[in-house]
């Protein structure tokens, strides 16, 4: 009997993360979370492949983290594929027997909350940016997405927003919400920051951004900003189907770059900008703040959750305002702002703190 009780005490709780959007910031997030809790919990990740998913994705995870590919996960609504994905997920749940299910992104959040209704699972959902806040969809689709979130929000599931802005939105559509801010692996960044910066004597002043070149990141505004500051080099670390909008002579597009190499390129930049139409809580911005780059961002949820204008960076509303801010910032001492931003990451947005809070949540102490 004592042996049985001891076994129960030592047995790890099983957590199943369901991640359709296994790329970009969500990928970084899930890597840090899964690795950070794998010593205490038995972690399985059911995931879908995206263009942005690294080919060597397995190498990013702790050996204790189990990975199961969901073949029928697709980004857009597809009734046949979605139904097949649900069949796959049911089998994965049957095989893994999780006590906790954590859904990530709108697609997985909708499928999971509609299909897996058993009260024997503790269920959590993190949107990583609500679909109804996206600007590249019609008014009707936005309303449809919001209706789906509101309907699913009545289920026995806790929404865990990744920032204050997302939390405020979640309170409108979910009956139970909390938030745990995104965090970055500062130990990994410290190792990269200790390496010599790859700059030559001819290195021009460089403004950079990181991410998929798509509608969300507003590449046409990035292009206009670059054209207004022709004596500055602009670098876009990433790739995407809207790179045709980046035509200014002073823009360099790196293409897809592996995580650590992307950080090496970012390290050699002088200033970071984010001209997004919407955000969840952008990992690239957190990384830039920690690397002590002056950050200039658009006034949207996610960006303004982190950046306090004039205190931890600058918030702009137009290409002209971005350009003027860049010009002025080059001639101004912004060391206090840069230091404030760095300290904000150290104190509030690091992955160790993220994992501590999630462990409390999964244990039922939050």
Of 6-15, 146-155, 218-227, the poorest mean pLDDT is in 6-15
Q: 44 near 17, Cβ under 8 Å?
A: yes
Phi, psi of 296 (to 5 degrees): -125, 120
Q: What is the pLDDT of residue 6?
A: 45
pLDDT at 358 over 60: yes
Q: What is the pLDDT of residue 140?
A: 85
Phi, psi of 170 (to 5 degrees): -65, -35
**Rounded to an integer, what distance in angstroms lies between the CA atom of residue 350 and that of residue 36?**
11
Scanning 97-213, the segments in alpha helix (DSSP H) are 106-115, 139-152, 164-173, 186-194
pTM, rounded to two decimals: 0.82
pLDDT in tens, 134-184: 776 778 888 888 998 999 999 989 999 988 888 999 999 999 999 998 899
**Rounded to an integer, what distance in angstroms lies between the CA atom of residue 15 and that of residue 97?**
9
Q: How many CA atoms lie within 13 A of 301 on its CB side?
A: 20
pLDDT at 31 over 60: yes
**Rounded to an integer, what distance in angstroms lies between the CA atom of residue 118 and that of residue 263?**
42
Residue 308: DSSP 8-state: P
pLDDT at 3 over 70: no
Residue 105: DSSP 8-state: S
pLDDT in tens, 80-128: 999 999 999 999 999 999 999 999 998 899 899 988 877 788 999 999 8
> How many residues make up the chain in this entry?
366
Identify which of 323, 293, 291, 325 has the alpha carbon closest to the alpha carbon of residue 309.
Answer: 325
The enclosing H or E element of 138 equals none
pLDDT at 8 over 70: no
Q: Which residue has the higher pLDDT, 54 or 77?
A: 54
Identify which of 85, 89, 67 has the alpha carbon closest to the alpha carbon of residue 75.
Answer: 85
List C-alpha distances in Å: 259 to 31, 38, 212, 237, 241. 12, 21, 13, 11, 20
* Beta strand 251-253 pairing with 41-49: unpaired
Q: What is the pLDDT of residue 25?
A: 82
Q: What is the pLDDT of residue 160?
A: 96
Reduced to 3 states (helix: H, G, I; strand: E, B; else coil), residue 346 is helix
**Rounded to an integer, what distance in angstroms lies between the CA atom of residue 345 and that of residue 362?**
24
Average pLDDT, the chain: 90
Q: How many CA atoms lie within 13 A of 280 on its CB side?
A: 24
* Average pLDDT of the residues in 66-82: 90
Helices 164-173 and 139-152: angle between axes, nearest 10 degrees: 80
Helix, strand, coil shares, percent, the chain, to 5: 45, 20, 35
Of 248-252, 256-260, 312-316, the poorest mean pLDDT is in 256-260
| Chain centroid offset of residue 330 CA | 29
Q: 209 near 273, Cβ under 8 Å?
A: yes
Q: Which residue has the higher pLDDT, 202 or 166?
A: 166
pLDDT over 70, % of the chain: 95
**Rounded to an integer, what distance in angstroms lies between the CA atom of residue 10 and that of residue 64?**
16
Band (pLDDT 50/70/90 cuts) for residue 341 is very high
Q: What is the pLDDT of residue 7?
A: 45
**Rounded to an integer, what distance in angstroms lies between the CA atom of residue 22 and that of residue 40?**
23
* Average pLDDT of the residues in 210-237: 96
**Rounded to an integer, what distance in angstroms lies between the CA atom of residue 286 and that of residue 163?**
12
pLDDT over 90, % of the chain: 66
Band (pLDDT 50/70/90 cuts) for residue 365 is low
Scanning 98-138, the segments in alpha helix (DSSP H) are 106-115
């Amino acid at each position: 009997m004592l042996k049985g009780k001891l076994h129960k005490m030592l047995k790890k709780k099983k957590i199943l993360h369901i991640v359709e959007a296994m790329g970009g910031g969500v990928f970084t997030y899930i890597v840090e979370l899964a690795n950070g809790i794998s010593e205490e919990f038995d972690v399985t990740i059911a995931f879908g492949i995206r263009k942005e998913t690294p080919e060597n994705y397995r190498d990013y995870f702790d050996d204790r983290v189990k990975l199961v590919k969901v073949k029928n996960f697709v980004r857009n609504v597809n009734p046949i594929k979605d139904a097949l994905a649900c069949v796959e997920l049911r089998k994965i749940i049957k095989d893994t027997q999780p006590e906790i299910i954590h859904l990530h992104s709108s697609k997985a959040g909708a499928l999971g909350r509609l299909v897996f209704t058993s009260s024997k699972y503790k269920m959590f959902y993190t949107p990583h940016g609500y679909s109804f806040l996206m600007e590249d969809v019609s008014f009707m689709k936005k309303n449809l997405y919001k209706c789906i979130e509101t309907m699913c929000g009545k289920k026995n599931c806790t929404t865990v927003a990744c920032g204050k802005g997302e939390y405020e939105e979640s309170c409108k559509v979910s009956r139970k919400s909390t938030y745990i801010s995104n965090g970055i692996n500062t130990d990994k960044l410290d190792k990269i920051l200790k390496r010599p910066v790859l700059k030559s004597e001819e290195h021009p002043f460089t403004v950079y951004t990181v991410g998929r070149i798509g509608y969300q990141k507003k590449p046409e505004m990035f292009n206009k900003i670059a054209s207004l500051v022709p004596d500055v080099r602009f670098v876009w670390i990433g790739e995407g189907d809207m790179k045709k909008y980046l035509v200014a002579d002073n823009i360099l597009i790196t293409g897809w770059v592996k995580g650590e190499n992307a950080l090496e390129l970012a390290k050699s930049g002088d200033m970071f900008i984010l001209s997004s139409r919407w955000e969840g809580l952008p990992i690239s911005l957190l990384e830039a703040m920690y690397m002590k780059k002056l950050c200039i961002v658009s006034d949207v949820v996610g960006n303004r959750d982190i950046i306090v204008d004039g205190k931890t960076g600058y918030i702009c509303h137009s290409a002209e305002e971005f350009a003027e801010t860049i010009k002025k910032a080059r001639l101004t001492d912004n060391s206090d702002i840069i230091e404030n931003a760095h300290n904000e990451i150290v104190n509030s947005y690091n992955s160790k703190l993220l994992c501590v809070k999630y462990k409390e949540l999964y244990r039922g102490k939050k």
